[in-house]
Amino acid sequence: MQASHCTDYSRSGFDRGHMAPNADFDTFDVNDESVMNSFLLSNIAPQLHGFNAGIWLFAEKMVRDLSVTFSSVNVISGAIFDEDADGQRDEDSTITRWLKNDTSSVAIPTHFYKIIVRCDTDKKSYHKVPECQGRLDVISFVLPHVAKQPCPMHQSSEEYLLQNTARVRDIELLTGISFFSGLPPAEQARLKTISPSKLW
């Protein structure tokens, strides 16, 4: 089994970027297992500091705001490897970017994604994994892993996120992961092909 180590990140020039941010669990007791698990390296990927403290942080805060606005919000975050920019997941053997240029360390993603699923219902759920009694909606992003947003000087973070929305089906091609497999086929197809024209 392959696993990353703290030494991989030490003096690498990259942040330990959280997929599930610790701040999402600040309502739990500090000794809660969820809080502690957010620091496991299996929840971490190499991120340039400008990305981690920039658009990724903004997206994390946006998710927390959405969780207050909507009755139920679930998030899937992860890394993408698409060095040849063909819209499909790179083979492991073709990855060329590694922490400290060491192929035995951790591969550096080319992009990161977030899939945000909300449940539109009047009933507020406080379960950790709520069941939706209303209509599901989704918005998802594929964000280039760069130190600074390559955008016009006065473009806001909201505009940048909207510019980088993606269909869930495209993220499946980029990751090799099948999402929403527990839902009926028609509902899967609907959610996977949504192309938002605005942020929530």
Scanning the structure block, which residue is given the tokens 């909207």? 162
Q: Contact at 8 Å (CB) between 93 and 99?
A: no
Q: Express each pLDDT in 187-199 by its tens digit.
A: 999 999 999 889 9
pLDDT > 70 in the chain, percent: 90
Going along the chain from its start, the domains and CATH numbers come out as 6-192 (3.40.570.10)
Q: Contact at 8 Å (CB) between 141 and 164?
A: yes
Q: What is the bridge-based pairing of β-strands 44-47 and 15-18?
A: antiparallel
Scanning the structure block, which residue is given the tokens 């899937």? 76
Q: Express each pLDDT in 57-82 by its tens digit.
A: 999 999 999 988 888 899 999 999 99
What is the pLDDT averaged over residues 48-52? 97
Q: Express each pLDDT in 73-111 by its tens digit.
A: 999 999 999 999 999 999 999 999 999 999 999 999 999
Backbone angles phi, psi at 90, to 5 degrees: -70, 145
